[in-house]
Structure 1
């Protein structure tokens, strides 16, 4: 994708219905193994009984502008792409998991090599082309097994001119995706809304996933 793009996602919490369709679509799109979900929805209760309400907080990778994970990686396997996406070079990653510990959002997971081969015929035969790279069959001793993994805004879909899978399937139309460098884009306008906020702003990570109250 062109380097003049600065991809960002806006999630409207008033529209999220907690259906977990984004989680399922992400897992299917990226063929993630057991224990790894790039996109989860956290439930939070607010208020005191009987006046209790529940909110749903979708949590992909925040694609931070000042990512803690990049700072701690001893082999520079994690890096910030020009388009705003925080990426992982599986060929450089040594699986030390420093980045997992440093991420304040819990958005990273380690691939221990588990799979769904008992539940799904042919599961190991095909992998998703993460970061636009096809790695063939899923086999022990080969990436991404032994690597840290996370959401990458479905970079392989962006290269085809498509939206991330979670945005495409959202039943409540709660997710918006676009270029923050374009002042006329929907995400730019929503990011400037008084409803806009980011998670753990005090950490100084400057996330590119922005929420609407």
Structure 2
């Protein structure tokens, strides 16, 4: 058994959206979809800092499905289209079983990590791109990050991890104390988003203790 997680180092993340673009290309996402976005922790707008001149602060939170230990989405899905892979802990989405009821969107405490395709998908390119094992994109279905499950089963990192130019993302097995993710969480101060929801998210953010 494994328990896969992603650890994001806030000190290293520069908010460049390379992880988002890597995800979009790898999964051949249509124009309407972003499975991975980047939140600005600072001002009221993207890429704006908090504070006053000379004392500004800004950090970034790459944001996508949290692949929770107890996902709220799987409990409400009437068809089993969203389910937790027991071997890896990855929360999956089977679009062929999805009826577009959006119950998972309503139940998920992480707003915006899912996309409902209410119209036919508009290809980002004139031809398919990315991995041939990437899931299909169908109208009237909900889709989301599946942690590049098809890459992971082949022993590779998710595309967002591989595509990060600042090495701000680390992927690994939390059940292995010798994995890099386990060591980072043992050594560094970290937090998760919306812990009060009680779902046990498996995306961790290492705190940036410096001022920038």
TM-score higher than 0.5: yes
Once residues 152 and 131 of structure 2 are traced to their aligned partners in structure 1, the CA distance between those partners, rounded to angstroms, is 17
C-alpha deviation, 1:24, in angstroms: 0.6
Within the alignment, does 1:205 sit opposite 2:199 as a pair?
yes
Q: Which residue of 2 aligns with 1:14?
A: 11
Within the alignment, does 1:192 sit opposite 2:182 as a pair?
no
Question: Does the CA contact (< 8 Å) of 1:163 and 1:177 recur in 2?
Answer: yes
Once residues 108 and 17 of structure 2 are traced to their aligned partners in structure 1, the CA distance between those partners, rounded to angstroms, is 23
TM-score of the aligned structures, taking structure 1 as reference length: 0.85
C-alpha deviation, 1:47, in angstroms: 4.0
Once residues 174 and 110 of structure 1 are traced to their aligned partners in structure 2, the CA distance between those partners, rounded to angstroms, is 29
Q: Which residue of 2 aligns with 1:80?
A: 84
C-alpha deviation, 1:147, in angstroms: 1.4
Once residues 194 and 162 of structure 1 are traced to their aligned partners in structure 2, the CA distance between those partners, rounded to angstroms, is 25
Q: Which residue of 2 aligns with 1:115?
A: 122
Within the alignment, does 1:148 sit opposite 2:155 as a pair?
no
The equivalences for 1:1-213 within 5 A come to 4-45=1-42, 47-50=50-53, 51-82=55-86, 83-106=88-111, 107-112=113-118, 113-116=120-123, 120-123=125-128, 128-130=132-134, 144-213=138-207
SS in 1 for 2:172: strand
C-alpha deviation, 1:170, in angstroms: 0.6
Once residues 144 and 85 of structure 1 are traced to their aligned partners in structure 2, the CA distance between those partners, rounded to angstroms, is 21
Any idea what the Cα deviations from partners look like across 1:24-71, whole Å, max 9, x if unmatched? 110000011122111111112164322221111101210001111111
Alpha carbons of structure 1 residues 127 and 159: separation in structure 2 relative to 1, 3 Å = closer
Alpha carbons of structure 1 residues 56 and 126: separation in structure 2 relative to 1, 3 Å = closer
Question: Does the CA contact (< 8 Å) of 1:11 and 1:175 recur in 2?
Answer: yes
The answer to which of 59-68 and 47-56 deviates more is: 47-56
Question: Does the CA contact (< 8 Å) of 1:176 and 1:187 recur in 2?
Answer: yes
- Superposed CA RMSD in Å reads 2.0
Once residues 72 and 158 of structure 1 are traced to their aligned partners in structure 2, the CA distance between those partners, rounded to angstroms, is 26
The answer to which of 13-22 and 98-107 deviates more is: 98-107
Structure 2 regions of 5+ residues with no counterpart?
43-48, 208-212
Structure 1 regions of 5+ residues with no counterpart?
136-142
